[in-house]
Amino acid sequence: MLIVFVGLLAAATLGSVLIARQVMETRLVERSSAELHREVEKLRRLAAGVDPATGRPFGDDVRRLFSVYFDTGAWADGQTVLSFVDGEPFLRSPTYDAVYRLDRDAALLAQWRSVPTPRQGSVKTPAGRVDYLAVPVRQGEQALGTLVVAHFRAADRGVVRDATIVTVVVGLAVLLVGTLLAWRMADGVLRPVEAVATAARGISETDLTRRIAVGGRDEVAAMAATFNAMLDRLEGAFASQRRFLDDAGHELRTPITIVRGHLELLEDDPAEREETLALVLDEIDRMSRMVDELILLAKAERPDFLRRAPLDVGTLTDELLGKAGALGERDWVLDARGDGVVTADRQRLTEAVMQLAENAVAHTGHGQEVGLGSALDGGVARFWVRDTGDGVAPEDQAAIFERFERRGPRSPEGGFGLGLSIVRAIAEAHGGWATVESRPAQGATFSIEVPSDDATYAEGSLWHGY
């Protein structure tokens, strides 16, 4: 592309030089023609006046008229003037004698000896092309003589040459500057594109950490930013996939080992076979639940994980308390009921709060108090579950939201340590967060907080701008 541009610029420069030269030559020809007519007009004015020596009109004394004209004439560069009387050369200006004597050119003399009417033209001579104007000198109807004013174009050659040289120098300077500017511009455009291509070639499924430096606000910078955003999404997707495979491989290994061990030791005793079958089915159910939970965590990182809609916080709180009551015989208490609307996914919020309620049931005994409530304040909707169990030690409060973490003296049997990870994933998908407040032996309060309007969660959500 750069070569094409330079070629076009060079062609344009050459064309400009040729056009400028042609225009210069045309203008010089026009100026020469005007000078020819001025000389003839000078003779007409002189003939209409009087002889400066006698003070009387020239009358038919054409020889005296020509003599006075040539004595007072001032000729332009490259110009020569001839006069003819009775068909024979009379007087001439010597300005171009050193170059070429027109009065010795027989062919021209034959044309100019006698012209009945004014004649203007151009002839080719050994000294180059000559423009001329030949006019008859009359007294009434009588032809007395002829005046020929001629101009050698070769006299203008130096002017044309100098102008052409200046045009060529300017054109070459423009060509050089234009080429340098085009090279710089092309380099500025192609370097980021090459960086994008290099980064793309260097990316593999095991290394998605490379990014392109973004500078400026042009289209290439926007493309680089979009490419980086795409890499962020790809890196997150690959990381989620690797984490899912690592977690599944780690947690499925134990139940698979148990199933395989019992199947290898299976004997023909019907009672033992039935016991082994029950154990195998229980482990399969356990693996199925764990896979479902891992798939849910993997989906939480997708943009279509949530289906947001306006929800009434108070109504949702009543529904959550009603559903929680079926999880266990506890003293279920409504701590508070928020008033307002939140834009969120009803099913996912219900799933998260029910997970917290199940944890509360697992960490409390029959008839113990478990509180559930909601609040809407400062643009944030908060849902919580409060229990009166053993509580969570301070050093464990951050870890319990990680995958496969089981902390505390009464961790639920058969659990995988994924419940609170799911709660946190649902909260973060809403652009919010999950927290715990607890002291050992004083119970714990688990909360999820989500922004209460679209504008807020759009800024904090994992999917902002996707």
Residue by residue, pLDDT tens for the chain (466 residues) are: 667 767 777 787 788 778 877 777 778 778 878 888 888 888 888 888 888 888 888 888 889 888 888 888 787 778 889 899 988 889 988 776 667 888 888 888 888 888 888 999 988 988 888 899 999 988 877 888 999 999 888 877 777 777 778 888 888 888 888 888 877 777 776 776 777 677 667 766 566 777 777 766 777 777 778 878 888 877 777 776 676 666 666 666 666 776 777 677 666 777 777 777 777 777 777 777 767 767 777 677 677 788 899 999 999 999 999 999 999 999 999 999 999 999 999 999 999 999 999 999 998 999 999 999 999 988 899 999 999 988 888 888 877 888 766 655 544 544 557 788 889 999 998 999 999 998 888 899 999 999 976 433 333 333 222 2
Burial of 308 (0-12, 13-18, 19+ CB in 10 A): middle
Same domain, 148 and 18: yes
Same domain, 250 and 321: no
Token pair recorded at residue 384: 């919580």
Distance CA 28, CA 294 (A): 91
Does residue 407 lie within any of the structural domains? Answer: yes
CATH number reported for the structural domain that contains residue 294 in this entry = 1.10.287.130
Report the largest interatomic distance among the alpha carbons of the chain, rounded to a whole angstrom. 163
Does residue 206 lie within any of the structural domains? Answer: no
Same domain, 260 and 332: no
Q: Which of 252, 268, 299 is the last residue of a domain?
A: 299
Does residue 166 lie within any of the structural domains? Answer: no
Burial of 393 (0-12, 13-18, 19+ CB in 10 A): middle
- Determine how many CB atoms are found less than 10 A away from the CB of residue 200: 12
Does residue 257 lie within any of the structural domains? Answer: yes
Token pair recorded at residue 233: 């999404």
Distance CA 50, CA 15 (A): 54
- Determine how many CB atoms are found less than 10 A away from the CB of residue 244: 17
Please tell me the pTM assigned to this model: 0.46
Report the pLDDT value the prediction gives residue 333, as an integer from 0 to 100: 95
Same domain, 283 and 402: no
Report the pLDDT value the prediction gives residue 454, as an integer from 0 to 100: 45
CATH number reported for the structural domain that contains residue 361 in this entry = 3.30.565.10
- Determine how many CB atoms are found less than 10 A away from the CB of residue 49: 12
Q: What's the chain's length in residues?
A: 466
Token pair recorded at residue 294: 């891992």
Same domain, 14 and 40: yes
Does residue 338 lie within any of the structural domains? Answer: yes
Report the domain count for the chain: 3
Check: CB of residue 363 under 8 Å from CB of residue 432: no
Q: Which of 243, 275, 299 is the last residue of a domain?
A: 299
> Which residue shows structure tokens 């004597």?
101
Range of the domain at 425: 309-460
- Determine how many CB atoms are found less than 10 A away from the CB of residue 118: 12
Does residue 209 lie within any of the structural domains? Answer: no
Distance CA 241, CA 235 (A): 10
Same domain, 414 and 455: yes
CB-based contacts of 2, cutoff 8 Å, min separation 6: 182, 183, 186
Q: Which of 299, 319, 336 is the last residue of a domain?
A: 299
